[in-house]
């Protein structure tokens, strides 16, 4: 009987250790040291520009974005928000909505909003509206990015001066050797031997990165914290937006956040180390918003 009791206790201990409660996320520094969300918030409050890289369909990233805004809005610095999901030529209608000149129905009907706007980005816009916080549309109009994807940067030369106001200043500096742009060629199955057409694919990414960085630099206000939301690929490994920001606004302090999926959140995998100043690890089985 005693042996049976001991066996039952051993089984309960095993079950307790092997079936731990799941974690929705865990945050690590680039060095793989784990930190709390509050620690990250307090450190971001001291910087000038925070670049929040998300996975577009990840509910944890979107939840932490709005939580970050609420926490940082109570800090000493004022906020400015901006996002990849809004194109520069939509700034007017975005401003009209934020200042109450047009209705929510009119704004959502006329702005070119992403399909997951209502679940994932509307909370950020409404937060800005309720707190009188500027919200900057930073991304290049998609029609111009499409022109680059088809005809390279040269295709933009034919645009009018008015159209060029919505794009980073031309000619755009471009480094095709950056690993992120090289990876895009590899994903197309053409590493090192890309055709002129396939070479335009990373150029289209670069014109987005440059325009977002230019928009951030132009709307940064000294003494305020600019928080920018974008796909994590745009700032991973301190490339993309970061590379261009270092040219447009070299003396402004930046911090980057990356979002990654892993089988477990216990520790940061080798592949994800040094992606950003802060890496948010989310379980691979986490549900998606679309």
| Structure tokens given for 249 | 């606004």
Instruction: Tell me what the pLDDT averaged over the chain comes to.
Output: 92
CB atoms within 10 A of CB 118: 11
Q: For 151, phi and psi rounded to 5 degrees?
A: -130, 10
Which of 41-50, 82-91, 188-197, 242-251 has the least mean pLDDT?
188-197
Q: How far apart are CA 172 and CA 163, in angstroms?
A: 15
Residue 272 is classified by DSSP as G
Amino acid 16: pLDDT: 45
The pLDDT-based confidence of 191 (bands split at 50, 70, 90) is low
pLDDT at 76 over 90: no
* Cα separations in angstroms, 116 against 3, 126, 272: 58, 15, 27
pLDDT at 5 over 80: no
* Parallel/antiparallel/unpaired status of strands 26-29 and 278-283: antiparallel
The better pLDDT of the pair 11, 177 is held by 177
Q: Could you tell me which of 105, 4, 47 has the C-alpha nearest to residue 251? A: 47
Which of 12-21, 89-98, 115-124, 218-227 has the least mean pLDDT?
12-21
pLDDT at 187 over 70: yes
**Mean pLDDT along residues 191-201:** 68
Amino acid 197: pLDDT: 65
pLDDT at 189 over 80: no
Bond into 171 cis (ω within 30):
yes
The better pLDDT of the pair 192, 84 is held by 84
The pLDDT-based confidence of 234 (bands split at 50, 70, 90) is very high
pLDDT at 181 over 70: yes
Q: Which CATH number fits domain 23-283: 3.40.50.300, 3.40.50.11550, 3.30.420.40, 3.20.20.70?
A: 3.40.50.11550
pLDDT at 93 over 60: yes
Amino acid 193: pLDDT: 52
Amino acid 17: pLDDT: 42
**Mean pLDDT along residues 71-83:** 93
Q: How far apart are CA 278 and CA 63, in angstroms?
A: 16
Q: How far apart are CA 121 and CA 123, in angstroms?
A: 5
Q: For 244, phi and psi rounded to 5 degrees?
A: -75, -35
Q: How far apart are CA 178 and CA 208, in angstroms?
A: 15
Tokens 């939301």 locate to 229
Q: How far apart are CA 19 and CA 37, in angstroms?
A: 25
Contact indicator for 283, 62 with CB cutoff of 8 Å = no
Contact indicator for 127, 133 with CB cutoff of 8 Å = yes
**Mean pLDDT along residues 35-41:** 98
**Mean pLDDT along residues 176-189:** 88
pLDDT at 35 over 90: yes
**Mean pLDDT along residues 85-94:** 98
Domain ranges in the chain are 23-283
Q: Could you tell me which of 17, 173, 99, 263 has the C-alpha nearest to residue 281? A: 263
* % of the chain at pLDDT higher than 70: 90
Q: How far apart are CA 34 and CA 279, in angstroms?
A: 9
**Mean pLDDT along residues 156-160:** 97
pTM: 0.91
Tokens 């209705």 locate to 103
């Amino acid at each position: 009987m005693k042996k049976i009791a001991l066996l039952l206790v051993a089984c309960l201990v095993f079950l307790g250790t092997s079936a731990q409660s799941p974690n929705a996320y865990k945050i690590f520094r680039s060095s793989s040291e784990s930190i709390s969300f509050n620690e990250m918030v307090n450190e971001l409050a001291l910087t000038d520009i925070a670049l929040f890289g998300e996975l577009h369909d990840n509910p944890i990233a979107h939840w932490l974005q709005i939580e970050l805004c609420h926490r940082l809005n109570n800090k000493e610095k004022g906020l400015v928000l901006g996002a990849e999901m809004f194109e520069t030529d939509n700034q007017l209608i975005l401003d009209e909505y934020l200042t109450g000149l047009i209705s929510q129905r009119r704004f959502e009907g006329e702005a070119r909003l992403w399909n997951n706007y209502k679940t994932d980005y509307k909370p950020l816009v409404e937060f800005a509206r309720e707190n009188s916080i500027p919200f900057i549309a930073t991304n290049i109009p998609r029609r111009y990015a499409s022109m680059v994807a088809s005809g390279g940067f040269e295709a933009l030369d034919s645009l009018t001066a008015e159209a060029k106001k919505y794009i980073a200043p031309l000619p755009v500096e471009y480094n095709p050797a950056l690993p992120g742009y090289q990876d895009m060629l590899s994903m197309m199955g053409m590493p090192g031997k890309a055709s002129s057409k396939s070479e335009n694919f990373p150029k289209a990414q670069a014109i987005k990165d440059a325009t977002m960085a230019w928009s951030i630099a132009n709307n940064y206000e000294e003494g305020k914290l600019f928080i920018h939301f974008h796909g994590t690929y745009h700032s991973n490994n301190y490339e993309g937006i970061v590379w261009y920001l270092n040219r447009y606004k070299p003396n402004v302090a930046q911090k980057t956040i990356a979002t990654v999926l892993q089988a477990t959140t216990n520790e940061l995998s080798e592949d994800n180390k040094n992606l950003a100043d802060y890496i948010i690890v989310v379980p691979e089985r986490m549900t998606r918003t679309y």
